[in-house]
Structure 1
Amino acid sequence: MATQSTARPANLKLLHATVALQAAAVFVQSITAGLMMTVPYGHVLHSAGSYTLWVVTVVHVVVAVLAWRPGGGPAQPIWYAVGFLALITAQVYIGVFHLTALHVPLAAALLVASVLYLLRIRR
C-alpha cells in the first residue's frame, strides 16, 4: 500500500504527462489546420484531432482532481484544467460553425497557454 508521500509524486508525474500530451495535441492541431487547407482529407484529420484534444482535456481535469484530492497536491491545476476544457469546448463549437475570425486567434492563444503552463508545471 502506497503512502501519501509516494502517491503524491506519482499523481503529479501523471499530471505532468497529461499536460504534456495536451500541449502536444494542441500543437498537432495547428499542423492539421494547415493540412486542412492543402489536402482533401485535411478537415477529417483536424476534426478527429479536435475531439481527441477534447478527450485529453477531460482526462486532464480528472487527473488534476486526483492529484489534488487523494494525492495531496495543490488545487490550482484543477482551475487551469477546467478553464482549458471550457475554452476547448468553445473552440470546437466555433470551429463547427466556421467562425474562423474567432477560431484562429483562440487556437493561437490555446497553444501559447498550453506551452506556458507545461513549462510552469514542470518546475
Structure 2
Amino acid sequence: MATQTTAKPANLKLLHTTVVLQTAAVFLQSVTAGLMMTLPYGHVLHSAGSYTLWVVTVVHLVVAVLAWRPGGGSPQPIWYAAGFLALITAQVYIGVFHLTALHVPLAAALLVASVVYLFRIRR
C-alpha cells in the first residue's frame, strides 16, 4: 500500500530527500562498522556516523510533520519517522553498551526498513 499524501510537491521532495539521506547514513554505518573492526580509529567514524544518523532522523521527523500539516497529507510518514527515531535511539544506546547480539540484527533491520520505505515513497 503506497503512502497517500496531498502535501505540496516541495514538501514531498524534501521528505524524499531526507529519507534518501537517512538510508545513505544507515548504509554508511554498516561500512564504518566494518572499518571499526579493521582500523584503529574505526570506532570514531562509527560513533560520529551514529550521531549523524540520529540527527538526520530527527530532521526526517520534522520534515514529515511539515509535509503533513500544511498540505493536509497523510500522517503515515510521521509514524514511520517517529518509529525510526525510536529505533535509532535504542540502537545508539545498545551500541554504547556494546550489546552486539542486539546491535547487529537491529542495524540490518533498520537498513532494510529504510530502503523499503524509500522505494515506497518514491511511488
Q: Same fold (TM over 0.5)?
A: yes
Three-state SS of the structure 2 residue aligned to 1:73 is coil
Deviations 1:43-96 (A, max 9, x none): 000000000000000000000000000122211000000000000000000000
Partner of 2:99: 99
- Within 2, Cα distance between the matches of 1:74 and 1:12? 11
Partner of 2:44: 44
- Within 2, Cα distance between the matches of 1:97 and 1:36? 16
Q: Which structure 2 residues correspond to residues 53-72 of structure 1 after superposition, within 5 A?
A: 53-72=53-72
Q: Using CA pairs below 8 Å that are at least 6 residues apart, which structure has the higher relative contact order?
A: 2
Name the % identity.
Answer: 88
Check whether the contact 1:12–1:73 (CA below 8 A) recurs between aligned residues.
no
| TM-score (normalizing by structure 1) | 0.94
Name structure 1 gaps, 5 residues minimum. Answer: none
Name structure 2 gaps, 5 residues minimum. Answer: 1-5
